[in-house]
Amino acid sequence: MKMKKNLFGQSSDFLQNNLVPIMFIIICIICYPLAGFSPSYLLNEIVTRMGRNIFLILSLLIPIMAGMGLNFGMTLGAMAGQIALIFVTDWQIWGIPGVVLAMLLSIPFSVLLGMMCGKLMNMAKGREMILGYMMNYFVGGLYQLVVLFIMGPIIPIKHASIRLPRGYGIRTTVNLTSLRQCLDNEFAILYKGVKIPVLTFIIIGALCLFILWFRRTKLGQDMRAVGQDMEVARAAGIKVERTRIIAIIMSTVFAGFGQIIYLQNIGNFPTCTAHTQIGMFCIAALLVGGASVEKASIGNVFLGVILFHTMFILAPRAGAAITGDAMIGEYFRVFVSYGVITLALIMYETKKRRAKSQGGQLLAQAQREGGVRS
Partner 1 sequence: MKKRQLLMQLAALAVCIALGAVMMIIGRGHTVYLDNKTLEDYQGQTYKAAHKIVVTVDGKELTKLGPRERGMSPCIGQSFKMSLEITQEKGGEPETRVIQLDLPYGMDGIIVNLPALLAGLPEEAWMSEFIPAPEPEEPDEEVPGEGDEFDIGGDLGLDDGLDIGGEM
Report which DSSP code applies to 168. S
Exactly one of 97, 193, 359, 360 binds partner 1 (CB under 8 A); which one? 97
Q: Which amino acid is at 298?
A: I
Exactly one of 23, 107, 194, 219 binds partner 1 (CB under 8 A); which one? 107
Query: Contact between 219 and partner 1 (CB under 8 A)?
Result: no
Query: Contact between 193 and partner 1 (CB under 8 A)?
Result: no
Q: In this chain, which stretch among 28-36, 97-105, 184-192, 222-230 interacts with partner 1, using CB under 8 A?
A: 97-105
Judged by beta carbon, residue 27 or residue 105, the one nearer partner 1 is 105
Query: Contact between 156 and partner 1 (CB under 8 A)?
Result: no
Judged by beta carbon, residue 96 or residue 345, the one nearer partner 1 is 96
What span, in angstroms and rounded, lies between the C-alpha atoms of 69 and 80? 22
Minimum CB–partner distance for residue 159 and partner 1 (Å): 8
Judged by beta carbon, residue 105 or residue 223, the one nearer partner 1 is 105
Query: Contact between 166 and partner 1 (CB under 8 A)?
Result: yes
Residue pair 236/34 in contact (Cβ under 8 Å)? The answer is: no
SS3 of residue 229 by DSSP: coil
Name the nearest CA neighbour of 183 among 95, 274, 78, 84: 95
What span, in angstroms and rounded, lies between the C-alpha atoms of 241 and 31? 46
Q: Which amino acid is at 18?
A: N
Query: Contact between 268 and partner 1 (CB under 8 A)?
Result: no
Minimum CB–partner distance for residue 84 and partner 1 (Å): 11
Query: Contact between 273 and partner 1 (CB under 8 A)?
Result: yes
Query: Contact between 324 and partner 1 (CB under 8 A)?
Result: no
* Close Cβ partners of 27 (under 8 Å, ≥ 6 residues apart): 311, 336
Query: Contact between 228 and partner 1 (CB under 8 A)?
Result: no
Judged by beta carbon, residue 150 or residue 272, the one nearer partner 1 is 272
Judged by beta carbon, residue 122 or residue 144, the one nearer partner 1 is 144
Name the nearest CA neighbour of 290 among 35, 66, 20, 101: 20
Exactly one of 23, 41, 42, 94 binds partner 1 (CB under 8 A); which one? 94
Question: Which of the residues 108 through 147 are near partner 1 (CB under 8 A)?
Answer: 144
Do strands 189-191 and 173-175 pair parallel, antiparallel, or not at all (unpaired)?
unpaired
* 210 phi/psi in degrees, rounded to 5: -60, -45
Query: Contact between 276 and partner 1 (CB under 8 A)?
Result: no
Q: Widest CA span of the chain, in angstroms? A: 85
Question: Which of the residues 49 through 68 are near partner 1 (CB under 8 A)?
Answer: none
Minimum CB–partner distance for residue 235 and partner 1 (Å): 24
Exactly one of 18, 175, 178, 297 binds partner 1 (CB under 8 A); which one? 178
Name the nearest CA neighbour of 291 among 277, 305, 278, 279: 305
What span, in angstroms and rounded, lies between the C-alpha atoms of 270 and 326? 24
Minimum CB–partner distance for residue 165 and partner 1 (Å): 5
Residue pair 151/83 in contact (Cβ under 8 Å)? The answer is: no
Residue pair 307/57 in contact (Cβ under 8 Å)? The answer is: no
* 218 phi/psi in degrees, rounded to 5: -60, -45
Exactly one of 21, 73, 118, 169 binds partner 1 (CB under 8 A); which one? 169
What span, in angstroms and rounded, lies between the C-alpha atoms of 74 and 250? 10
Judged by beta carbon, residue 272 or residue 343, the one nearer partner 1 is 272
Residues lying near partner 1 in the complex (CB under 8 A) are found at: 91-98, 100-101, 104-105, 107, 144, 148, 159-160, 164-166, 169, 171-172, 178, 272-273
